[in-house]
A and B are shown apart, each in its own frame.
Chain A
């Protein structure tokens, strides 16, 4: 009898009609962010095509990178099927593949620098924002090749963003909202995809964006902070937190508790108060403490998201993904 009741309860939980929120997530969160990314990336490509000088490109680079980070947590759909995310932001890069790929391209593979089709085939470590950042912040002996490569990357980013936005606007968005796309064919599956985007991105923020530079107290790694060369490490954390807060409010409004909302506010306030753009403070005991507190605040968000959203929606954590066997 208890068993039967339990089965009924669980069945009801997993069958809640949640398509409305998915639709809202698409129209109010995903589509505008991809549209903005496409617009800023287009502007970056346009600037580079006219003048690839560092000073000319920097503002457009900043705006386009911002727009990408603000949507990069959406890891399903066109970005997944096209494999675009690792190319746009190849990081972390413990083997310095970006540095090596840039050196190789400038020394050997110069025809790819001026042929956008050929450039699509080069190492993904040299195609996106991390490579562009190197070419905007480091001196390269061959200035002509560096200019060509900046232009090639800007063109690639512009085209990729346009493709992704086109896919979402021209049918994938509507299809996803209706749970009528190949990998997501029920409201539970689209809901789960949104939840996974949220939880995966929070884990990435905690483990990679914060965890990599923090290392341990005895062994901090300030040079492992994301986009530190252009002083964007903290900016990415703030953009990321803001995007995830918005996704939570739009997609999961019906299960978002005040505690979860205030945990986001707490983490954002901690990040805003840091004043350490490249997270260099990880190596300074006095400043490090504040970054650890921020990481702890992100952990609080993670725990509330797992408990409240996954719990309320009957989404089980990955049975096999978490197994480790």
Chain B
């Protein structure tokens, strides 16, 4: 088992190192990262510049999901799609793989993670497969990404996690859905699931747990994005009858808990109860993508008004200078500004679920 994994690692690293990837410094600084599939059916991590052009394409050993950008250094971690067991630390200056992380035996990654404020520690959302309990893996980024240990995520099925801006407070979307890789991606506890949004210290001490009302317990909290003032934007995935879905976009308010955003019956029809990704664009606007509905809604949290972009297979979304950026499975890169949405670029790639902004870009 060990030998196999080591061999896999060596092969992967060797393969990655042998590919002619231009360093980021040489090709202009990318502002965003996304996992993607190429026309040849291979998987890659792609760096995008502010104008939507490609800064680099780095091969991944299997389908990626999301990435985490280091807060200060030009380093990013690309995560495998669940139930993946690899994550790659990428040196953004050289475009090379600096480290390969393997989930410990009995764990798999859920595909998201975040760094501590000083960037010395990396946290990853994981499944302890036998117990089904959500875990947060802790890695010493300053010491070659050695595993320091793990602690409870505060729930089942932790998916996206982030760090509150300007603080060492971790916020974890515990989706509530139990899965076991031996049953594929089957959901094992939909009748009893109880998702939550957990705030914790970096040592795992839980500060606060926000839950949903009992009648909304099937609204899986999957993807989150932080405002600067403690509010957290939430994208849900409804696990009940999709035609009976409540709103699947919401905001956690520190003093009020989770509030669903107003989504009309007309907006909800056709979305299949499924939101793919969420971004806080500024302190007022959030963007939520609905890949199954082929639409993105930009909510103005002040006026409750909504701006809509119909776009097949849209999913990745992130803040960007002047507004936001979004990507879709057809290779488009879109820019969102106060004036609306426009197409920035079109690539021969299928962009995967998440678009990640590189720190401060």
CB–CB A93/B111 < 8 A: no
Query: With A10-B39, A318-B291 in contact, is A323–B353 under 8 Å at CB?
Result: yes
Partner pick for A86 among B269, B276, B330, CB 8 A cutoff: B269
A10 to B350, CA, bound (A): 14
Query: With A6-B40, A319-B37 in contact, is A325–B329 under 8 Å at CB?
Result: no
- With an 8 Å Cβ cutoff, the count of chain B residues facing the other chain is 36
CB–CB A324/B350 < 8 A: no
A284 to B111, CA, bound (A): 46
Query: With A94-B243, A320-B353 in contact, is A183–B266 under 8 Å at CB?
Result: no
A83 to B328, CA, bound (A): 22
User: How many Å from the CB of B242 to the closest CB on chain A?
Assistant: 9
User: How many Å from the CB of B320 to the closest CB on chain A?
Assistant: 19
A316 to B312, CA, bound (A): 12
User: How many Å from the CB of A290 to the closest CB on chain B?
Assistant: 26
Which residues of the partner chain A approach B352 to less than 8 Å between Cβ atoms?
Answer: 319-320, 323
CB–CB B329/A124 < 8 A: no
Within 8 A of A (CB), among B309-361: 310-315, 328-330, 350-353
User: How many Å from the CB of B128 to the closest CB on chain A?
Assistant: 19
Task: Assess whether A24 is interfacial by the CB under 8 Å rule.
Answer: no
A319 to B350, CA, bound (A): 7
Task: Assess whether B270 is interfacial by the CB under 8 Å rule.
Answer: yes
- Interface size grouping (class) on chain A: 35 or more
Query: With A10-B39, A94-B244 in contact, is A320–B315 under 8 Å at CB?
Result: yes
CB–CB A318/B40 < 8 A: no
Which residues of the partner chain A approach B265 to less than 8 Å between Cβ atoms?
Answer: 86, 90, 97, 123-125
User: How many Å from the CB of A221 to the closest CB on chain B?
Assistant: 12
A125 to B329, CA, bound (A): 32
Query: Whose C-beta in chain B lies nearest to the C-beta of A2?
Result: B40
Which 8 interchain pairs have the tightest Cβ spacing?
Answer: A319-B329, A320-B315, A86-B269, A320-B291, A319-B350, A92-B243, A94-B244, A321-B291
List 16 A-B residue pairs with CB atoms under 8 Å apart, sorted by A's residue number: A81-B310, A85-B269, A86-B266, A87-B266, A90-B265, A92-B243, A95-B244, A193-B312, A318-B329, A319-B37, A320-B351, A321-B329, A323-B352, A325-B111, A325-B159, A325-B353
Contact residues of A with B, CB < 8 Å? 3, 6-7, 10-11, 75-76, 80-81, 83, 85-87, 90, 92-95, 97, 123-125, 183, 189, 192-193, 196, 316, 318-321, 323-325
Other A-B contacts than A3-B40, A83-B266, A86-B266, 16 sampled, CB-CB below 8 A, are A7-B40, A75-B270, A85-B269, A94-B241, A94-B243, A124-B264, A183-B310, A316-B329, A318-B291, A320-B291, A320-B314, A320-B352, A321-B294, A321-B313, A323-B353, A325-B65
